[in-house]
Each structure stands twice: as structure tokens, then as C-alpha cells.
Amino acid sequence: MLGTMLYGTRDVRCEEVPEPKILRPTDAIIRLSASCVCGSDLWPYRGLNEVTEPRAMGHEYCGIVEEVGSAVTTVRPGQFVVGSFCLSDNTCPHCRFGFQSSCRQREFMTGAQAPLARVPLADGTLVATPELPPDDLIPSLLATSDVLGTGWYAADAVRVSEGSSVVVVGDGAVGLMGVLAASQMGAARIIAMSRHKSRQDLALEFGATHIVSERGEAGIAVIKDLTDGIGADAVLECVGTAQSMDQAIASARPGAMIGYVGVPHGVQLDGQRLFFSQTGMLGGPAPVRRFLPHLLDLVLQRKINPGKVFDLTLPLADVAEGYRAMDERRAIKTLLRV
């Protein structure tokens, strides 16, 4: 079959790869309904994470179960399933605490930018829908696997509440999903920081009430203005750079939490600054599995449409263009027809 391999900086290829097989009795093989490129795929693509050997790419997935290992009991061939990019047993103490992304058996999904993929820990990881979903919902169902689940986690980590004010730093796909999550949780004022027209429009569609295009000191000043000089009740940091974290801290009111879901690159936090600003922090790889049943419900009932975040659709053969478009910010997120 065709699959996606990253060979080095800006060298991603669609090429012939072996079909996945059941390796352990807890595995499942799924036939993907669609796949996509993640913002985090761009870290190694850009050479910011080292690539020492060719790597099978893709960790967001949904599709039909093709085959299951002998120990798998909760899903069966023919069912439509979605799973998180973090594979988890969903039974260990960390999973039961709601942090499946720190599961004791945690593995990270790979090889999902392809027509078939192996999903280890299938029982703990996969959630089946009651019936086969209509095709038009596939993009939104695919979004729950990572990008929506991650934005949702950021909003959950800061306990966005009815009527509250929320600042979202970052207008990538995750930030836009953070806007959607905050809106679903009842935030009254959702301030999206973005300087790109197409992303601003999507943020507004997902529930943003204000757009701030300024950055740095100017951005902080506008946020303060928009929150009556107080700062936001909650902040979602969806980038992972020192500047974006700085922006997040400066946007938070004393006692507010920052939910940070962009993998921090070069972020050092000064203890005394956080202490005196009374800024709370909770982040990490999102425990998407915790939220999946609820998110699938919202999509299947057509209450949310996170699939709109895909603004470029390409056949798998053109995966390299899918990466390039995101790298150059021509696309927010690329959906791959597999």
C-alpha cells in the first residue's frame, strides 16, 4: 500500500510501504476513512526535532475495523472507530484519573497517513460509534482524534465556565478548536489572537467574540482593554513558544489558569513571576480518550462542526504538498483522502 514516510527536513514522501499486521493480541487494524497532517508533524518536518531514520507519519485516524487481535473484546471488524493519538489501556491508575495520555502502557500512534493502520491497545484506545456515520461527518470525526480533543483539553484544564472570558493564543488548528471548546463550555467572551483573515473568520464561526491581531505589548494592552483591565478568566496557550507563553501569562488575571497544549520549545518559566502573578498552569499531551465519547456525540448530533478546520483536501499521493501548504501557512490543516 501507499504510506507516508519522513526522511529528513522538508523531505516527506508518499511511497510503497508494507501493510500493517496484527503484532500483538491487543492490536486492531483499521481501514482509514480519512487521515490528516498535524501541526506537530511540522516540528520534525522543519528539522526542529531530529529525524535519524525514515519515520512512518500520521497519528490522527478514524475508520472501519478490519481485523482485531485475539485479546480484543470491545471493538469488532466492521465497526467505525475513532482513537486518540495517545494509545492507552484505559484501565491503569493514570487512565482512571483521566490522564490517558500518561497511561502506563502509553504509546504514540504512527503510520496513520495511509489507507491501513495498526492500532495497539485497541480496547483501551478505540471508541466505536453506534452505527456507520454518514460520509459528510468524516472530517469532524477525524478531528476528534487529536486536534479537537487537544483544544478541548486546554479548555477543560482551565475549567472554562459559563459566562467567563477566555483568551486563545494561537490560531493554528488547535487554537481554533480551543475556541470551539470554550464556546461549547459557555464562555461569554472568547478572544482569539490571530492576524490571518481566513483563521480569524473561522475563529468567529467557531464562537470567538473578539479577534486581536496585535502581538506583544500591544496585544497585551488590547486584551486588558477587552477584559475591563482585569485580564482573562482563563487562557488557552496553543503554540508552545516562549513568546506565546509570555503572551498567555500576561493575558491571565490573577488566579486564572493557562491550559497549554503546544509542546513547549525553549519555554522556561520563572517561578517568582508565576508566583506573584498567581497564574495557574496545566498542560501536556491531551488525554483525548477522556473526552472522545462526548465529542463523538456532539459531532454525530451535528452540534459542532470541527471538520471545518480542514481547509485543504488532497489525495494521499500529494501528502508532500499537504505538509508544504501547512508549513507555509497556506493551509490551516490538510485532510488526506486515503
Write out the residues near a copy of itself by the rule CB under 8 A. Answer: 93-94, 97-99, 101-102, 157, 228, 230, 233, 240, 245, 253-255, 257, 260, 263-272, 274-278, 280-285, 287
Q: How far is the CB of 24 from a copy of itself (least distance, A)?
A: 23
Evaluate whether 259 touches 235 at the Cβ level (below 8 Å): yes
Residue 268 CB, nearest approach to a copy of itself (Å): 5
Least distance in angstroms from the C-beta of 228 to a copy of itself: 7
Which lies closer to a copy of itself via its Cβ, residue 7 or residue 97?
97
Question: Which letter does DSSP use for residue 215 in this model?
Answer: -
Report which secondary-structure segment, H or E, holds 272. helix 271-277
Q: Cα 103–105–109 angle (5° rounding)?
A: 90
Of 28, 32, 3, the closest CA to residue 120 belongs to 28
Residues 6+ apart with CB under 8 A from 204: 192, 211
Q: How far is the CB of 250 from a copy of itself (least distance, A)?
A: 14
Strands 55-56 and 86-87: unpaired
Question: Please, what is the minimum distance in Å from the beta carbon of residue 93 to a copy of itself?
Answer: 5
User: Which of residues 174 and 211 has its CB atom nearest to a copy of itself in the complex?
Assistant: 174
State the nearest-atom distance from the C-beta of 87 to a copy of itself, in Å. 15
Least distance (Å) between residue 46 CB and a copy of itself: 17
Nearer to a copy of itself, 184 or 244 (CB): 244
Residue 300 neighbours by CB under 8 Å, 6+ apart: 129, 130, 133, 137
Q: What is the dihedral of CA 111, 114, 119, 120, to 10 degrees?
A: -30
- In the complex with a copy of itself, the residue whose CB is nearer, 172 or 240, is 240
Q: Which is nearer to a copy of itself, 14 or 232 (CB)?
A: 232
d(CA 259, CA 154): 5
| Whether the Cβ atoms of residue 45 and residue 6 lie closer than 8 Å to each other | yes
User: Rounded distance, CA 310 to CA 50, Å?
Assistant: 27
Minimum CB distance to a copy of itself smaller for 209 or for 277: 277
Nearer to a copy of itself, 50 or 131 (CB): 50
